[in-house]
Chain A
Amino acid sequence: MENALRNLAVALALTGVLLCLIGVAIRLLNLRQHNRKAELLICIAAGALLWHALVYVMIYTGVIRAFPNLYNKGIPFYYLIGPATFYATQFSLFPHSKYPKYWWLHLLPFVLGVIDVMPYAMAPLTEKQALLDEVVQDMKMGVLHQFGYIDQKWHYILRFFLAFVYLMAQWRLIYVHDGRFSPLAPSVKSYMVWYACFYSLHLLMQTSLVLSLLFNQLQSSFIMRDVYQVIWVSLFYFVFSLWIFISALYRPLGSYALKDVQA
């Protein structure tokens, strides 16, 4: 039973990664001028999420040992998911809005993340492999390792806290947007509402796992491998990826906006 669930979780995550990848690729190929910013930001968020899922699966299955240079690269990008999603919503619902003057403040966690992954990136291959051997054996080591300037668990705490704040702001934008006085087609808003829903569910599931880890740090290694918890995260990521894929294939953001704005 556990093995079957474990295989299912991996299969769902990998399928999600694939769907996400195709969705991102289609979006990038169909970029149009008026929706460029929003779609690019969605691509950044989806790309970071798919990387996260891919690396997790690689650790879970032990494949990461063959690719030590792929490990510990995504931390800065995970910080971008929140702001990218927020601004994608803003630029979709309020096309005339601009980046704020101090937009680069949103990149500060990203920069900190880049600095923090440097020690691992610069480490000799043997050390990387030794760490990955430990991480695969005991996933807790992914948080406890010393390749970084700060305690790695703070990345999880900060990232999900920021993501939660951005998510709230994202929902506020959706609420504030009044279709009666907007030149945009109503479908643009429903597009962003769906996006926010799937992203929220995925984020809630992931954050609940992180909370579970924080409140039971003793068993963090077990929790990260507990198939009964991982399967839900995997499932919700799959649903999110499915939306990324389907929306890119059939009803990308540009097609609504372009048609309605012209109308």
Chain B
Amino acid sequence: MFVCGLGSCFAKSPYRQVRVLDGIDKEHSMFSRAAKDPAGMIWAVAGGELFRYDGVHVLSFAKLYPGRLPFDEIQDLTIDPWGRLWLNTRNGLLIFDLATWQFCDEQPYAQRLHQHKAIGFAEVKGDFFMATDRGEVFQITATGKEFLFSFDYTKGLGRTPVGRLFVADEEGVWLAINGRLYHYDRKREKRRLCAIPSRIFDKLEDLLPLKGGLLLRNYRDGYYIYDGRHFVLSRFRSTNENDFTNWNHWAFAEGDRLRFFHQKGRYSEHTRDLSLTKMNEGDHRLAEEILYKRLNNWQRSGDEWLLSTDQGLYAVFPAEVSFDFIECGSARGMVKQQGQYFIGGYGHLHLLSPAGGLRAFIEAPEKNYYAFFSLAPDTAIAVIEGEFLGYLQHGRYVPAPITVDLKYRDQFSTMAYCASRFDKETMLVGTANGIWKYTLRSGRVTPLLDRDGRIAGEGMRVLSIRYENGLLSFSGEDGYFVYRQMRVEKLYPLDHAHLAIYDHVCDQSKVYLATKGRGLVVLDKGTASVFRVEQGLSSNIVYQLFNYNGTIFAGTHRGLSVITQNKIYNYHIADGLPFEEFNHKALYHDDAKGKLFMGGTQGYVAFDPQELLQVAERDFAATPTVSSMHIGMRTNLFQHNYAWLQLRDTMELPRDAVMFTLDFARVNHYRQGYAMHYKIEPLMDGYQEMPVSNQINLSGMTAGEYRIFVQVSPSNTARTQTWSWLVKKPPVFMETQGFYFLLLLGAGAITTYVLFERNRRKKNEKLLRRQISSDLHDEVGSLLTGISMQADLLMLRGEAPMQESVLSIGKFSREATQMMDDIVWSIDGRNNYQGSLEDRIKFLAANMLEPLGAQIVFDVLIDYDKSLRQIVRQQVYLLFKEMLHNICKHAQPSRIDILLHVQHGELRLRVSNNGLIAHAENRKWRTGQGMANMEARVNQIGGTISRWMEQECFVIELKVPSRRSKVRWSALHKLDK
């Protein structure tokens, strides 16, 4: 049985250890070197190969490094404060810069070093030193190196201990080699040298720098103090045998202290000076077994030590919370008598002595000790599953007398699980069949009955009973109940559902219920609220509750939850908890010591609840780190980035990137449990839990910016922190504004071309019409005018033998001039203005009809704000002229009505006259060439023409659509017909 933590119930243990890795893989558990880089990732050497562990994956450096590896075997490894790996290979020193992901040999700090090997590295508060196999010691800086001193390396390194023979502190640098001790005073910049007696040097294992001297660990004799002159064997001894002879003992310097971890959990602190004054003493919780696993190397990284062993990699670091572990197997109730703790469970009781010893209490019989209830300082009732009750008096087990009335024997169950005091003489005991009363004096057992004569909680396993302030409350497999005025009332759940409730505690008006499956239920003045996993509880199965000044400590199926002021903090194995599954009734609070004991499947854990609350409010330091970025390109190529310079807060992707993957490291997760959630803007509105692989993938990216937020929520502190990265994806040409500009320009150019072509035809036609009309008017018109004038002159002279012919020539030429004038007017586009047609019609009517002496009545209405189309104006005018011509030819009218309306998208021209002389009398129409021509013209403009007699008048009407589209469609329709 492991007992390392027994004494620690009463002393602080400042450090704890965690196994970081079982091995590189399942088959390889040996680590020879390990170091932690400034980003928190662990670099380890195993089997001569280099590996990186980011908290999620262990990856070989050969996979991470894109080129050919310049080494075959790594022998030693350390990392400087600037993130450079110093790799001692069989063929010399290599320096690998994590920022650039390149090996360095040309940089000032690396020049001339890579051809040699390092025999030691030392680091103190950001200063980094190295000793080479050329007998030189350098101080390395961020950009260069400084030579400090030389030493004799002619005999080689000799024996290589696990500890360090090259160390440094603020005052100086120490090197023990070949029987000599070199000391470099950093302030005076001077080297001193002295010989180490061979009896000391031969068994020299480790150096610990002191103020004003040096502490030399000799694994045969113990510690020697070197004060600058003499080597003196110190009186510093361990109480254990062979404590200094091998690595079951461990020590290091930290600040102004030396810390020693001895066998059997003993721990001590001493001043780091020549006096080695003891400052503190106690127990540590380092499992010594790790020191027996063949420790190959230890390296310090910040406040943490990495221990490379043959059976895994361990980290030792200051403990945030002091959880003291009492490893006694599955535990139940606990009670304290005579300063000793009696731990229940299955089988024998366990006895934990104040001195720290734990043993099976074989003086008491093996039973299922489920719970205890203290009646007096040295007397307790033991609730026994299967034997009802027993007594523990003065540290001795005494069977309890039990007398059950005959009439209740069939209902009585010896399976007892909990107890509470009812009155001075009576105990209430929760059993597998309800609650039973036990009279202390007589040992008589009777059931607790209600008004109907039924046992309170009958048929139900009662798991928790409390009788406080005159009110009896109990919980069991069916829910939570109160018993008052001889009535059992179920308070939760209020429906008929059965819910196992393991425990309940009352705090003022509130009642907390530990349920199996519903988390922690809080009843407050008739209302129930629930804390579940979704609200942050460790598990929905809660076994035990303890009320500490309003703060509830809940032992659950998956860790310890602390609920205070509506905030929940959780503790798991990663936080130092030795186990996560707690047990029902395994709870004890030692008021005198201020310790809370909570038991589970592997024993008890003890801690100061006040200290735990203080830790919960502390800041959390875990920082999410991008360990690598993989970019997939359109060309099916992948780009892998690991260098810090490429993984900064702002990352720029190539233009042809189509997907990227970010690998996040889970640094320090072994020190403190935390959850990671992420969000990618603008793709996601809320946070999602980080997948187990800790990878974020994004594919099908459009150009722009992607902001990645990672939220770290520690399980046991109140503060949540958020980090963000900006990933920029520049656009390819098709995504640029320039492309869209060109696209629009192209669309505009095509549209413009179409419009241009269309308008060009119109413009040319217009120009042609104008040219024709001008030519006709100017050339043909003047010719005809000349002919008519010549004819008139011949007539005036009266000389012509053919007077009539001359008269005809003059008449025809004037008619031709008039006709040409009409044609010129009709085809000239300049006459398309509004009102032009109206004026011309009036003019023509006056010219043609006035000689007939008829009355001409005009009815003109133009309700059209645009000019008529050229073709419409032309054809309407010629049609009108034909109408008038027909009147002149076939009628002797006394009245002519002319109607011209342009409205509602239609032009209507109607001419009516009386005084028909020829065919009108017969009411028969003769269809001649004139009418056919008129219809042809009408068809061209998509109009209709009709004629009829009306009250002795001949009416002819033309209807033409005035709007363009109508003209076009009507014309097409007509032509089709």
Contacts and interface: CB of A to CB of B under 8 A. Distances in A.
B735 interface: yes
B763 A178 contact: yes
Contacts of B702: 216, 218-219
Contacts of B682: 140, 218-219, 221-222
A219 B705 contact: yes
Which of A168, A209, A212 has the most chain B CB atoms inside 10 A of its CB? A212
Which of B702, B737, B744, B762 has the most chain A CB atoms inside 10 A of its CB? B737
A211 B704 CA distance: 15
Given A164-B748, A218-B683, A218-B704, A171 B755 contact: yes
B704 A208 contact: no
B744 A208 contact: yes
A232 interface: yes
Contact of A223 (B704, B741, B748, B865): B704
B83 to A, nearest CB: 28
If over half of B's interface residues share one DSSP class (helix, strand or loop), that class is named, otherwise mixed; here it is helix
Interface string A195-233: 000001000110111011001101101110010010010
Contacts of A181: 770, 830
Which of A101, A164, A218 has the most chain B CB atoms inside 10 A of its CB? A218
Contacts of A232: 737
B818 interface: no
A176 B763 contact: yes
B443 to A, nearest CB: 73
A171 B683 contact: no
A106 to B, nearest CB: 15
A226 B755 CA distance: 36
Interface residues of B, number: 27
Which of B738, B744, B866 has the most chain A CB atoms inside 10 A of its CB? B744
Nearest to B758: A172
B744 A204 contact: yes
B751 interface: yes
B704 A168 contact: no
B198 interface: no
Contacts of A212: 735-737, 740
A98 B867 CA distance: 11
Interface in B695-726: 702-705
Contacts of A209: 737, 740
A101 B703 CA distance: 48
Given A101-B865, A140-B682, A222-B704, A208 B737 contact: yes
A149 interface: no
Contacts of A194: none
B610 interface: no
A205 B704 contact: no
B240 interface: no
B752 A216 contact: no
A124 interface: no
Given A204-B748, A205-B741, A216 B703 contact: yes
Interface string A152-177: 00000000000010011001100110
A166 to B, nearest CB: 12
Nearest to B866: A100
Which of B735, B736, B741, B745 has the most chain A CB atoms inside 10 A of its CB? B741
Given A98-B865, A212-B740, A221-B682, A171 B752 contact: yes
Contact of B740 (A172, A211, A226): A211
A87 to B, nearest CB: 14
Interface of B: 682-683, 702-705, 735-738, 740-741, 743-745, 748, 751-752, 755-756, 759, 762-763, 770, 830, 865-866
6 contacts: A168-B752, A172-B759, A200-B748, A208-B740, A215-B740, A218-B682
Given A100-B865, A167-B748, A222-B704, 14 more contacts: A168-B751, A171-B752, A181-B770, A204-B741, A204-B744, A211-B743, A216-B702, A216-B703, A216-B735, A218-B682, A218-B704, A219-B702, A223-B704, A226-B704
